[in-house]
Amino acid sequence: AGCILQTLQETAEKAGFLFPLSLAAEGSCTIGGNLATNAGGTQVVRYGNTRELCLGLEVVTPQGEIWEGTSGLRKDNTGYDLRDLFVGSEGTLGIITAATMKLYPLPAAQLTAWAAVPSLDHAVTLLGLAHKHLGPGLTGFEVMGKFALSLVDKHMPQLRVPFINEEAVPYCVLLENSDSESEDHARARFEALLETAFEDGCVTDAVVAENLAQAHQLWHIRESIPLAQAEEGLNIKHDISIPVSRIPAFVEETDALLKREIEGVRLVNFGHLGDGNLHYNVQAPENIDTKAFLKNEEERINTLVYDAVEKFGGSFSAEHGVGSLKVDKLEKHKSPVALEMMRAIKRGLDPKNTLNPGRVVRV
C-alpha cells in the first residue's frame, strides 16, 4: 500500500504493461491512499476510478484483525463486496495494507490534440463524436476555460498556451487517443474525428502533437492550472460532478448567479469533461484581500454552488472525497436513508469509532 503511484507506473512499463491511473500527485501519492480515496485523474473516461483498477485488498480492521482478500479473482459472488466497501472509505473502516491491481497492455500508439471549441455545448458534442470515432481508444478528454488558461499564460508564459490570444475561443479541449493496433491506424481515426468536428462546427482550430514531447507539453499546460491559480492568490475550490449533458446549462446558470451575487468574481473552470467532473473554482475579484474574501464569502459561495449542483443532479465531491471539511455538506446533500446506511456500516465495522473519527460520516 505504500508503493508510490509513479513507481508502479514505471515498473509496469518496464515489464511491457500499463497501469493507467494518472494524476498530478503521482510522484508522491501512494496506492493505499489512491484506494482509500478512490482517486480519479485524467484517464477515468477509459479506465475508471481506482476502484475499477482494483481486484483485491488486504485490510487491517479496527479490531486489529487482518482480512486477506488479494486473490485477484474477476468473479467472486460470495456475499457482500468487501473490497468495494473499503475502497473510497477514507480510512474510516479499515487500513488498506496491500492490493491486487489490474494492468493493461501498453498502447501501440498514443495521439494527443488540443482543440478550440466555441462553447461548452460544442465541447459536449465533440465528446460524443470522440466516443463514436475512437471508441475505447478515447483515454483522456479535458476541458479548460479561457480564464483558467489565462492564469497559466500569465504566471507560466514559457508554456505557450495554444489559442490563448484568440477572443473567439472561450474553451479548449485536450483529448487523447490510445490505440492497440498501430500509429497509422490511430492517426487515421484521429484525423477522421477532427475532420467531422470541423465540419460540424464544434471545433474551430486544433493542434495535434507531433511527438511524445509535444504531447507531454500540452498535458503540462493542463496540469499547471492549479499551480497558476495558486500563484494568482487564495481561491475557493469545488470538485463537482454533473451529468455530462447538463454541464453547459449548469455552468451558464451558476456563472450568472455568482457574478450577480459577487461583483467582479472570477471563475476558474476546468476538469475531466469526459467523466462529468469539473474543478469549478472561484477566484477573488482583482486587487482585493484574498484572505478577507475567503473569510467573508467562502461559506456563501459553497452554498450557492452546491445547491446548484444538487439542482442539476450532481455530486458536491466527484473525486476529492468528504474528509472532515465536508461532513456537514454530506449531511445536507445526501439522503437520510443513505446517511443511515453509512452510519450502520461504520457502527458495525468500527463500533468504538477508532479509525479517523469525525471523517466522512458522524456517528
Compute the average pLDDT of residues 13-29: 93
3-class secondary structure, 172: strand
- At 177 the pLDDT is 93
Compute the average pLDDT of residues 247-261: 97
C-alpha 179/C-alpha 241 separation (Å) is 28
C-alpha 58/C-alpha 363 separation (Å) is 25
- At 262 the pLDDT is 94
| pLDDT band with cut points at 50, 70 and 90 for residue 261 | very high
**Contact of 330 with 322, CB cutoff 8 Å:** yes
Residue where the block lists cell 461559506: 299
| pLDDT band with cut points at 50, 70 and 90 for residue 109 | confident
pLDDT of residue 181 exceeding 80: no
Reported in sequence order, the residue ranges of 88-226 that DSSP labels E, i.e. its strands, are 95-101, 104-105, 109-117, 138-145, 171-179, 205-208
Partners of 68 in the β-ladder? 58
Name, in order, each residue with C-beta under 8 angstroms of 344's C-beta and a sequence gap of 6 or more: none
Compute the average pLDDT of residues 139-145: 96
Q: What angle do CA 241, 246, 250 make, to 5 degrees?
A: 75
C-alpha 115/C-alpha 40 separation (Å) is 23
pLDDT of residue 182 exceeding 80: no
- At 187 the pLDDT is 86
93: amino acid identity, one letter: L
Q: Comparing C-alpha atoms, which of 160, 228, 219 is closest to residue 42?
A: 219
pTM for this predicted structure: 0.91
- At 41 the pLDDT is 86
pLDDT of residue 330 exceeding 80: yes
Compute the average pLDDT of residues 271-288: 94
C-alpha 321/C-alpha 45 separation (Å) is 19
Pairing verdict, β 104-105 and 17-18: antiparallel
| pLDDT band with cut points at 50, 70 and 90 for residue 346 | very high
